[in-house]
Amino acid sequence: MTGVDRAVDQADLQGNILCGYGRGYPHGLFLFLRVEQAGRARDWLAERVPEVRSALPWSERPPHTLNFAFSLGGLAALGVSQGILDAFPEDFRQGMAARWERLGDSGPSHPDLWMAELREVHLLVTVSARERSVRDARRELLEGQAREAGLSVAAAVQTDVPADQREPFGFRDGLSQPSIRDPRAGPWRRTTADPPVSVGEFVLGYEDEGGTESPAPHGLAANGSYLVVRRLEQDVEGFWEFIAAEAGPDSERREWLAAKIVGRWRDGTPLTLSPEGPEPGRSSDLGWLNDFTYAHDSDGFACPVGAHIRRTHPRDSLHRDWRFGNRHRIIRRGMPYASPGAGGERGIIFACYQASIERQFEFVQSQWCADGNAFGLGSDPDFIAGGPSGKMTIQGRPPTFVPMRSFVTNRGGDYFLAPGIAGLRHIANGGA
């Protein structure tokens, strides 16, 4: 692929898909709803559509945003015809719970153990706000409106990105996102090591990296994207206790081991650029933090071949021109959460957009995280996103072998469609 693809219809695309709202909106709300009365719920949706934030550039920054996504069950509950539902791909029609085996959701992550409030959810409303108080007020308003409109509130998860932008394990997060080939519609922090990706890898109805148009079943999916959402609980204390037990009392050795597992130092400095330690003087430069490949580190002596960031985004590890890896890119829009009270649950609401759930999110999860064969690591999973058995190999002379433990548990989630603005209106009108 060369040049610029067909321009994205920014007026119809929902915001936060290609071009994120950014860290200027650190306070989020994931409001999960169930449809109890379809007619009233459609009327409420129709009233909200004018408030939905599109991908059009802002003349001034709003205090908050509003966006919608629907599970297959939600589309059915709102009256979308069976013929249209049947046209969606199998991954979306089956939903996340039915595909637990390929995702490695076994043991404590098995769907039978998911939080009841995150099962069979119909509608996801997301809010991003510049101030916590604004987010909280929007939650109260939306929950009240929803209940009056024939919707029940299944769950409301409030998320907050700390000032240092670190996730609960303590590592800076959200650093690496795809550059989009249409610079008007997405981030364009291109570096020499970051070839842009076709719009059709993330938005339905546009040409993808394979040269074909990503299918948009019926008009309600045009300019839409599939959204994967997972509530991932992190055992923070357990993780650092494990690191201490494996590395011993030396604090530098502990930091070294944790960085080798992740592939970056805690401030975001990538090991492949600075294997001996973080470079805080450069950690504010997002371009530098992502301007690297693994061509000079094929043996993994700087950044282990099985490090988390190398497995989830192999860059040129599997193909020199990135073509293979770019067919499996996802755009991540997750945020950390913490349950109220001391010792409450902490984790990330993982959220990612793509044009094909099976080829993108599920492939990364099953082939690169749950299995190590693509990297010459046999069946050893990714330490962060993989399973509890096996080992992690830290290449060196001699190599270091770290026994595998699981510190992340999926507490529930599903697959959603984030339609275009016209698609939202179509659903509100009955979606037949």
Q: Are residues 110 and 126 in the same domain?
A: yes
Q: Are residues 207 and 183 in the same domain?
A: yes
Between 76-80, 276-280, 315-319, the lowest mean confidence (pLDDT) is in 315-319
Q: Are residues 294 and 170 in the same domain?
A: no
Q: How confident is the model at residue 326 (pLDDT cuts 50, 70, 90)?
A: confident
Q: Are residues 223 and 239 in the same domain?
A: no
pLDDT above 70 covers a percentage of the chain that reads 96
Closest by Cα among 277, 286, 267, 261 to 171: 267
Q: How confident is the model at residue 1 (pLDDT cuts 50, 70, 90)?
A: very low
Q: Which two tokens stand for residue 404?
A: 């595998």
Q: What is the pTM of this model?
A: 0.95
pLDDT value, residue 186: 67
Instruction: With beta carbons less than 8 A apart as the criterion, state whether 385 and 404 touch.
Output: no
**Residue 358: inside a domain:** no
Q: Are residues 274 and 201 in the same domain?
A: no
Instruction: With beta carbons less than 8 A apart as the criterion, state whether 405 and 419 touch.
Output: no
**Residue 283: inside a domain:** yes
**Residue 348: inside a domain:** no
Q: Are residues 372 and 289 in the same domain?
A: yes
Instruction: With beta carbons less than 8 A apart as the criterion, state whether 264 and 292 touch.
Output: no
Q: Are residues 185 and 248 in the same domain?
A: no
DSSP bridge pairs for 413: 230
Q: Are residues 130 and 166 in the same domain?
A: yes
DSSP label at 270?
Answer: B
Buried/exposed 30-52: b ≥16 CB within 10 Å, e otherwise: bbbbbbeeeeebbebbeebeeeb
Instruction: With beta carbons less than 8 A apart as the criterion, state whether 70 and 106 touch.
Output: no
**Residue 338: inside a domain:** no
**Residue 249: inside a domain:** yes
**Residue 315: inside a domain:** yes
**Residue 86: inside a domain:** yes
Angle formed by the axes of helices 251-262 and 236-247, to 10°? 120
* Domain of 262, in residue numbers: 233-325+364-412
The domain total for the chain is: 2
**Residue 5: inside a domain:** no
pLDDT value, residue 402: 95
Q: Are residues 306 and 206 in the same domain?
A: no
Q: Are residues 219 and 255 in the same domain?
A: no
pLDDT of 189 higher than 90 = no
